[in-house]
Structure 1
């Protein structure tokens, strides 16, 4: 079960404590041999920066997962860890982070942890997510669990894709404009992507270009929303959530996105 904690203290406080903690003998990276979980006869202890990494870890077979950044913090790089986070990190076998979270390595270093630091490719595209979960399963020594989850993912995506195609307005494939981090949702719906935007705000030139393509839907990133993307275009905007909840159920992210897409297509 994920153990989430609220963090507000500045990162400088974290680093200040490092002098009083044991120094790491080496930085755990992907080139460092992973702990032999099978030989140790236990499941890996995993610390993750957000619920998104946590969901990938859980899908791969991790059972002892601690989440650092609360789900209420929509933009993880803005989060400042608290000194008490160090206790969890120091006991971890693996610390999972995304490249846009610059504090992850500093947390591990400050804690004196010998955990393996693993960069995770956070992309909910089903093929990429399945591959990443399989890779983590290999690191954790839980390949069988990861493989079973991949089967569940494939079945869920096929089911949702069929339901969404059945909901196409007038039986026609909808055209969409997608934020770059929500393109996976367009694929889930079987939609035609006529343009993308972000992560920067849409410029006037982009606005004119994207509006001219007359999309039926705009798939916005709920975690990086800048408001209505294509005002006066007639397109219906759909907020797509990438981060799972505290249950770390990544499949629910697909189900929730499908529900929002179906609702939007009903009014297109």
Structure 2
């Protein structure tokens, strides 16, 4: 499942005017380039893709787009604080596809403000392995990069299997750990082969829910780093792990699984 990250659009009219000035300057021969928006898709014959966040960008990269422009910078930890710049609108104006998540209503507004004719593509941001692979394959067909998407799938399947086995080797006493997971972190429990005895979120957890989860006696709590409200079961003795859904700035989707596997394994052996 996806995380709720929103970007405020303070003045679409003002941004539209600014974007027009940027595009005009470009047309007049400006040769300056923004390192974050080289805008050549993935090379000759591939479409130009703009993604609202690095998560959508990682799916596009896995599907075969080597160069993806991301609207919200990796350095912005709280996306709602980010205001799109004229250069963002200029990038969207030249895109073939704009990738967004259904909880990001600003995507269509950005596209309209930039006057773009790009195709809006809703991405299912779910790191469940089966769903992630299916989404990458779907995007590969959409972009016309099926061979690259198929190659990524092969690499992913092999590494995911190794990661699962590595985490399993660290099971205490050879038994699957009993865990409680935030609803958007259950994919990491699946990766760990854990026994999920309860979930919580995305709404605030009530005292009654906490009491019920504590009675399950979990060894681990797989929290959502992007929506964490602190210690979930502070008196249960369970170790809490902050599961990260978003990739690093390299937009390597596999890196998300590597980190989750390493963090869960460390918690079990530590």
Partner residue of 1:161 out of 160, 164, 182: 164
- 1:119 aligned to 2:122? yes
* Distance 1:265-1:15 versus aligned 2 partners, 3 A rule: farther
The range that moved more, 68-77 or 47-56, is: 68-77
Residue 138 of structure 1 is matched in structure 2 by 141
User: Secondary structure at 1:11's aligned position in 2?
Assistant: coil
CA distance in 2, matches of 1:186, 1:163: 14
The question of whether the paired residues in 1 share the 8 Å contact of 2:18 and 2:86 is answered with: no
* Distance 1:169-1:104 versus aligned 2 partners, 3 A rule: same
Partner residue of 2:14 out of 8, 13, 16: 16
Q: CA RMSD in A?
A: 1.9
Deviations for 1:117-150, whole angstroms, at most 9, x for unmatched residues?
A: 0000001111000000000001100011001101
Residue 28 of structure 2 is matched in structure 1 by none
Q: Mind listing any 5+ residue stretches in structure 2 that lack a counterpart? A: 1-6, 21-40
The question of whether the paired residues in 1 share the 8 Å contact of 2:90 and 2:114 is answered with: yes
Residue 217 of structure 1 is matched in structure 2 by 220
- 1:187 aligned to 2:185? no
CA distance in 2, matches of 1:78, 1:175: 37
User: Secondary structure at 2:86's aligned position in 1?
Assistant: coil
What is the TM-score normalised by the length of structure 1? Answer: 0.86
Partner residue of 1:208 out of 193, 206, 211: 211
* Distance 1:71-1:17 versus aligned 2 partners, 3 A rule: closer
How much has 1:19 moved relative to structure 2? 6.1
1:89-108 alignment runs, 5 A limit: 89-108=92-111
- 1:43 aligned to 2:46? yes
- 1:149 aligned to 2:157? no
Deviations for 1:58-109, whole angstroms, at most 9, x for unmatched residues?
A: 0000122101112233454554322321110001011001111121110001
Query: How many pairs were matched up?
Result: 243
CA distance in 1, matches of 2:80, 2:131: 23
